[in-house]
Structure 1
Amino acid sequence: MRQAYPTAQVEVWAFDEHRLGLKPILRKVWSKRGQRPIATVHHRYQWLYLYAFVCPHSGLTQWFILPRVSVAWFNRALQEFAEAVGAGDNKQILLVIDGAGWHRAKQVVVPQGIHLEFLPPYSPELQPAEHLWQLSDEPLVNRKFENLDALEEALASRCNILSAMPEVIRRHTLFHWWKEA
């Protein structure tokens, strides 16, 4: 990629989306011997999606909370991401993504300065963005949210906190084999 754009800054980013909803995320917790912890839950099947872009080398992230996954929403997220990071003639972004149908559709509009690189099928372990979910889920675990607005508020707060923690992001996403552009 450097040969094609010798004067441009080149960065390698990864992208994935994560479904979150009113169906709670349950995890084990410590409790005193002989006592059972109680987690109030109310199973409801309403969802929103966290779209995450991460640059493993710098630990920078861009987060978008969107109502669904589709080609239209993916196009919107790509456009917003390109604008946020300044992709264009002077900055080229190689974006590593999985092969989901809405990523490969003919209707996908790739903004100038963004280049998509697809992972091999069935290889989520190669995707650095997959490792963001344990961090983003932390304040949501074992909690009941009354509605999607309350969930979105907690999730937005968590994303802002994570954006200010590039070293934590690097530790979770910078694999030893992940190449710099």
Structure 2
Amino acid sequence: MVLLRYLFPWLGVELWALDEHRLGLKPLRRRLWALRGKTPLVWERPRYRWLYVYTFVRPNTGENEHWLLPSVDTVSFEAVLRAFARGRGAGKGKVVLVVLDRAGWHTSPKLRVPEGVGLVFLPPYSPELQPVERVWSLVDAGVANGQVETEEELWERVEARCAYLRTQHALIRSYTLFHWWPGGC
């Protein structure tokens, strides 16, 4: 990172982290308060339909972007990466580095990475190094301990939650800015 800025001072460099998360109609349960001696009862009808949240986070500033898709694969990832690069203005004058894990669709030889985007892979089996992993509890809060009846309702609730999180830079920063994360990017 420092080397890039030293060699190419005119080049804008941004450092982001990316991960995917699966949510579905299967209920997501968390602990909750109840009166002493009373067990809270929850009606449940699990169904297995999924929604995938692709989340980019810039830990230094708390900026975050979310894409909701029905699948996770190389084609979907490439489309999201292309849209993200276009939105961030990546190209000849600006480099966007994305830190991510080594999922099969991230390392596929069929993946075409857009110009101006660099992929930086984390070591294998190290989810604790991925800043985005800490954001999933915030995304889940939109559907936790509630019954989601339809896929449309799931999409609406998760979309609303992600829209809210996009405005919460200080909150995202507090969850994702690790002490070892490079500063100034």
* 1:91 aligns with one of 85, 91, 94: 94
SS in 1 for 2:141: helix
- Say if 1:22 and 1:47, in contact at 8 Å, map to a contact too: yes
Tell me whether 1:149 sits opposite 2:152 in the alignment. Answer: yes
When structure 1 is superposed on structure 2, of 35-44 and 110-119 the one drifting more is: 35-44
Mapped to 2, the partners of 1:84 and 1:117 lie a distance apart of 19
- Structure 2 spans left out of the alignment, 5+ residues: none
Deviations 1:127-152 (A, max 9, x none): 00111101100121111111111101
Mapped to 1, the partners of 2:8 and 2:36 lie a distance apart of 62
Corresponding position of 1:176: 179
The alignment of Structure 1 onto Structure 2 pairs a total of residues equal to 181
Corresponding position of 2:64: 61
Mapped to 2, the partners of 1:48 and 1:5 lie a distance apart of 40
- Say if 1:40 and 1:142, in contact at 8 Å, map to a contact too: no
Corresponding position of 2:170: 167
TM-score if structure 1 supplies the norm length?
0.96
* 1:77 aligns with one of 80, 88, 99: 80
Deviations 1:84-110 (A, max 9, x none): 211112221110000001000011111
SS in 2 for 1:112: coil
Tell me whether 1:32 sits opposite 2:35 in the alignment. Answer: yes
Give 1:161 shift.
0.5
Mapped to 2, the partners of 1:137 and 1:4 lie a distance apart of 42
Give 1:54 shift.
0.4
- Say if 1:9 and 1:91, in contact at 8 Å, map to a contact too: yes
Mapped to 1, the partners of 2:42 and 2:143 lie a distance apart of 12
CA RMSD of aligned residues (A): 1.1
TM-score if structure 2 supplies the norm length?
0.94
Q: Which amino acid aligns with 2:19?
A: D
* 1:135 aligns with one of 114, 138, 146: 138
Runs of 4+ in 1 over 4 A off after TM superposition: none
When structure 1 is superposed on structure 2, of 84-93 and 10-19 the one drifting more is: 84-93
Q: Which amino acid aligns with 2:77?
A: F
- Structure 1 spans left out of the alignment, 5+ residues: none
SS in 2 for 1:83: helix
Mapped to 2, the partners of 1:35 and 1:90 lie a distance apart of 62
Q: Which amino acid aligns with 2:20?
A: E
